[in-house]
Amino acid sequence: MNMKESLYGELSVIGMKGCESFVERVDSYLKEWRRHGAEDTYLVHAECPRFGSGEGKALIKESMRGQDVYIFCDVFNYGVTYKMHGMTVPMSPDDHYADLKRIIAAIGGKARRITVIMPMLYEGRQHKRTSRESLDCATMLQELVNMGISNIITFDAHDPRVANAIPLSGFDNVMPNYQMIKALVRNVPDVVIDKDHVVMISPDEGAMGRCITYSNSLGVDVGMFYKRRDYSTIVNGKNPILEHKYLGQDLHGKDVIIVDDMISSGGSLLDVATQLKQVYGAKRVFNFATFGLFTDGFEIFDEAYKNGIIDKIFTTNLVYRKPEIMDKPWYAEVNMCKYVAYIIDTLNHDATISALLDPDKRIATLLAKHRAELAEQGQITIDFNN
């Protein structure tokens, strides 16, 4: 069968405001794999201009009829601004989400299929009701489905059970585990990943599932911190943490990897890292966080690195980070452009992405290669009898 004949529809990729550089790199991979020239593109010319009052609209400058459309939207990109009543205003998650709906509305039901790739779910932390409060994430998912969206793809959802809000629609929660481990061995080439040298650490009970997944792939043990909160008060929308308690094996002389879905202010992460180093004797402390928001800036991380509390923080490029973070010695970017391009290319050919969502074989191959390199350098000895 001709490759073009196997397409679900002609491919179109829309990058929402602030995602231009990311989708351009995705586009370059797609063109390379499909052997298109540099002048060709799968990117759609779309924009969301604003009136002086702050109101907006969407404009798509080409026909979407019969297209297989993929919309990439980073609702947490506060680096994008607009003018309102003469003031420069950073775009909030609400603004980005409103623009996403405008783009869908501008397509006008003409596309054959629309898939939204929203790396970090809008209102993903407001996923369950504990009192008289809104269920914003569930409402958002239902709203997109009602607008005609066929598939929603997200990464490392805060709670993937939010998919229960749209049980009859496509929802894929993609984990960046392989890309994280690949970035670790590239940036820390002397790391020995086995149960004698590395322990995965969950900073709270909510992240334990992520840690178990990593531990199963890597063959290492798991430890956990328990957060004791003050539920009688709310500070910055959260119940403040009174104490972190560690549950797990001895960590003296071992590298530890703290795993979570996001870094917000970073206070909780650094509190855990401090205990791991100063109380429990960890050798080095690394952090895997899919999304680095750094809502309170970088100063506390600079200080923690200076004091030897944190050794390396890995976050993806799926959401916006201030450009100066790339110069921080404690930071390493995990590039997800090629992975997103694989997902789009596979779905556009109406094929399953199950193999892409299961990274165990790729992780095993990566670790085998890394151990062979360490053995060649004399850092470890491989027992071929086991």
Q: Is 331 left (phi over 0), alpha (psi -120 to 50) or beta?
A: beta
Global confidence as pTM: 0.92
Report pLDDT digits (tens) over 52-110.
Answer: 999 999 999 999 999 999 999 999 999 999 999 999 999 999 999 999 999 999 999 99
pLDDT number for residue 241: 64
Q: What count of Cα atoms within 13 Å lies in the side-chain half-sphere of residue 248?
A: 28
Mean pLDDT of 144-157: 97
What 3-state DSSP class applies to 382?
coil
To which residue do tokens 């956990």 refer?
224
pLDDT number for residue 378: 84
Mean pLDDT of 5-26: 93
Mean pLDDT of 26-37: 91
Q: Which residues pair with 47 in a beta bridge?
A: 59
Q: Are 183 and 176 in contact (CB under 8 A)?
A: no
Query: pLDDT category, 344, cuts 50, 70, 90?
Result: very high
pLDDT number for residue 371: 93
**DSSP class per residue in 197-209:** TEEEEESSGGGHH
* 1 has pLDDT over 80: no
Distance CA 128, CA 76 (A): 20
Report the length, in residues, of the chain: 386
Q: Which residues pair with 257 in a beta bridge?
A: 200, 286
Maximum alpha-carbon separation in the chain = 73
Mean pLDDT of 200-207: 89
Report pLDDT digits (tens) over 266-288.
Answer: 998 999 999 999 999 999 999 99
pLDDT number for residue 229: 67
Report pLDDT digits (tens) over 244-257.
Answer: 788 888 999 999 99
Under 8 Å CB-to-CB from 33, ≥6 apart: which residues?
Answer: 341, 345
Choice between 367 and 385, residue whose per-residue pLDDT is larger? 367
H/E stretch holding 175 reads: none
pLDDT number for residue 37: 73
pLDDT number for residue 237: 67
What count of other Cβ atoms lies within 10 Å of the Cβ of residue 117? 27
What radius of gyration, in Å, describes the C-alpha atoms of the chain? 22
What 3-state DSSP class applies to 88?
strand
Q: Are 187 and 332 in contact (CB under 8 A)?
A: yes
* 386 has pLDDT over 70: no
Report pLDDT digits (tens) over 179-202.
Answer: 999 999 999 999 999 999 999 999
The amino acid present at 295, given as its one-letter code, is T
Mean pLDDT of 290-295: 96
To which residue do tokens 């080409």 refer?
62
Helices (H) and strands (E) in the chain, counts: 10, 16
Q: Are 199 and 218 in contact (CB under 8 A)?
A: no
Residue 327: phi and psi, rounded to 5, are -95, 0
Distance CA 269, CA 262 (A): 10
* 231 has pLDDT over 60: yes
pLDDT number for residue 145: 97
The amino acid present at 310, given as its one-letter code, is I
**DSSP class per residue in 25-49:** HHHHHHHHHTT--TT---B--EE--
What 3-state DSSP class applies to 67?
strand
pLDDT number for residue 365: 96
For 33-62, give one letter per residue: b (16+ CB within 10 A) or e. eeeeeeeebbbbebebebeeeeebebebee
